[in-house]
Amino acid sequence: MALSSLPLSVGATVTTFIAEDYVFTGPEQLESGRQTVRLLNRGRDVHQIQFLALPSGKSITDVERALASRSPSLPNWLRRHGGVNSVAPGDEASVSMQLESGDYLLLCGIPDVAGRPHAMRGMVRALRVVEAAPSGEPAPRADATLRLTDFAFSLSGPLHAGARTVQLVNDGRQAHEAVVIRLAEGASAQDFIERYRPGGLPNSAGLESGGATGIDPGRQASMHLDLEPGRYGLLCFLADPVTGAPHFSRGMWMDIEVKMVLTPAEGS
C-alpha cells in the first residue's frame, strides 16, 4: 500500500514525526484541537507512534517503571488518544485525532525479537499540548466509518482503491486499535496472525501498512490511506487488561477486499 499521497483536507496542517531504531524526532509542543500527524519510518523495524495523555502527578518515569514490570497492558490511568500505527521501513502513514491541552507521552509499543516494546529501547518521549483557539477547520470527510467493539470491527461500507479517509469510532468498553495489513495473494488476516513473529521479521501472509493506534472508549480518530486494489486485513493487537490476551485472539480481525471504482464508460 503506497501512502505518499494522503487524502487530507485542503489547508490541513500536517505535523511530521520521524521514527528510527529506536527514537522519535519531531516537535516537542503542539496546539490543542484536531491534529493531523504523519509518521515517517526511517528505521529497519516496523514502528508506530501512540499519543497517551498523562494525568496530573504522573510522569514518563512512572510509565517506564510500569513497562519494566512486564504488565500485560499500559497503566489504566493513561488515556489513549490515537496515533499512527504499524509503518513499515521506508514508508509513511497519517492519522487525524483530537488532542486536549496537557502533558502527553509518545511511545512505540511494537515489540522487538525478544518481545520487549520499543519504548523500553528508547522510543518514548514527552509532548506538551497547549491550549489554542478553535481553528474552525472542518473534520476530514470520511469515506467509511470503522466501528470498534469488544471484540470486532464493523465497516460501514466498501472501500475502493485510491486516497481514502476512514473514521474510527470506539464503541467498546476497552481501548482498541486498527492495524492495516496488505495481504499477500491468497492470504487472510488469520494467516497473518498465525505467521506473526515479533521483531519486524517478514510475514509471508502480508505487510503492515499503517492504521491507527489505540483510542479509548468513546473516542474517535481518522486514518488516511492510499489503497491499491487487493485484499487487506484489520487487526487489533491490544491486550485485555485482565488476561493479557491480544484482542485478535478473541475475534477482533477482519478481511477486506479493495476494488477499483469503474467509471460508466469503463463499466460499459
pLDDT tens per residue, range 122-139: 899 999 999 998 876 677
* Segments of the chain with pLDDT less than 70: 1-12, 70-73, 136-137, 200, 262-268
Whole-prediction pTM value?
0.90
What pLDDT does 145 receive?
Answer: 97
Q: How far is CA 121 from CA 39, 47, 160, 179, in A?
A: 19, 12, 38, 22
What is the distance between the alpha carbons of residues 45 and 59, in angstroms, rounded to a whole number? 27
What pLDDT does 96 receive?
Answer: 96
**Can you say how many angstroms the Cα of residue 52 is from the centroid of all Cα atoms in its chain?**
13
Distant-in-sequence, close-in-space partners of 266: CB < 8 Å, separation ≥ 6? none
Q: How far is CA 106 from CA 11, 44, 51, 80, 181, in A?
A: 26, 20, 5, 10, 23
What pLDDT does 158 receive?
Answer: 94
For residues 160 and 72, is the Cβ–Cβ distance under 8 A? no
What pLDDT does 3 receive?
Answer: 39
What pLDDT does 198 receive?
Answer: 80
- What residue has cell string 499519543? 51
What pLDDT does 148 receive?
Answer: 98
For the chain, the first-to-last Cα distance in angstroms comes to 28
How buried is 65 (Cβ within 10 angstroms: 0-12 exposed, 13-18 middle, 19+ buried)? Answer: exposed
What pLDDT does 2 receive?
Answer: 37
Annotate 186-216 with b (16+ C-beta within 10 A) or e (fewer): ebbbebbbeebeeebeebebbbbbbbbbbbb
Type of residue found at 241: P
As beta bridge partners, residue 226 has: 163
What pLDDT does 4 receive?
Answer: 38
What pLDDT does 13 receive?
Answer: 79
